[in-house]
Amino acid sequence: MTSSADASLDPATGESGRGSDVVQSLARGLAVIRAFDAEHPELTLSDVARRADITRAAAGRFLRTLEQLGYVRAAGRTFSLTPRVLELGFSYLSALSIPEIVQPHLERLSREVDESVSAAVLDGGDIVYIARVPTRRIMSVRITIGTRFPAFATSMGRVLLAGLRAGSLDELLEASALPSLTERTLTDPHALRAELDRVRAQGWSLVDGELEPGLRSVAVPLHDRRGDVVAAVNVSTSATRDSVDHVVNEYLPPLQRTADAIDAELRLV
């Protein structure tokens, strides 16, 4: 006979869900998917368990389930995601319409400045790339759609953070770690808030070597019909190729014109 306590156990994890609306098995299944990224496209069972912070047994159950559903493929001892995982984000991207609107503008901007340009949205304390036109590789990490970086150390992240309402910004910053990614990274909370105030006032952000040494980027926000900041676009370049003055004088004006054109279309969505 099954007790009421046993009936409340999650069949995938063996954990009780009593007193909570959180479905632990779903949360851990999503953690397994997020364990894979551009730097870790293939993982062993042990890798998945460690990166998702679950047991090997649970990782095995989730991987077998995802494989049966077509989201994961197995090759010997390693696992990798299949293109089907794109379905999970398709509804969001389709409803948002921003990537489709932004992409042709980014292509024109990239031709004009002959540099890599991108668009991103804010997800918690990270930015997530939703569109990109690369001209050359300027980072050690390959950037693709879905790539995430800490918002506080990026130009797009700072204009997105600056666009948050005060209460939301306070909550996010209090919950976020500010690790030193390079010797230039701004990690003092008070200094970061002051910088965000400056970004909000001037309407753009320039980050010089804070995410990765030698990387410079300038970003501006994108707005919806209500005037809320919903995304950001940037131009990124190498410090060995372009000075800070060149970035501000030559890249910022066409970037701002591009943002104005995108905003005009977003107001119609």
pLDDT tens-digit map of 52-61: 999 999 999 9
pLDDT at residue 16 above 70? no
Predicted model pTM = 0.69
pLDDT recorded at residue 64 = 95
Lowest mean pLDDT among 11-25, 139-153, 154-168, 246-260: 11-25
Average of per-residue pLDDT values in the chain: 88
With beta carbons less than 8 A apart as the criterion, state whether 121 and 98 touch: yes
| Residues β-bridged to residue 53 | none
CB environment 164-174: b (16+ within 10 A), e (fewer): beeeebeebbe
More confident residue, 11 or 94: 94
Q: Rounded CA gap, 157 and 192, in Å?
A: 12
d(CA 255, CA 165): 24
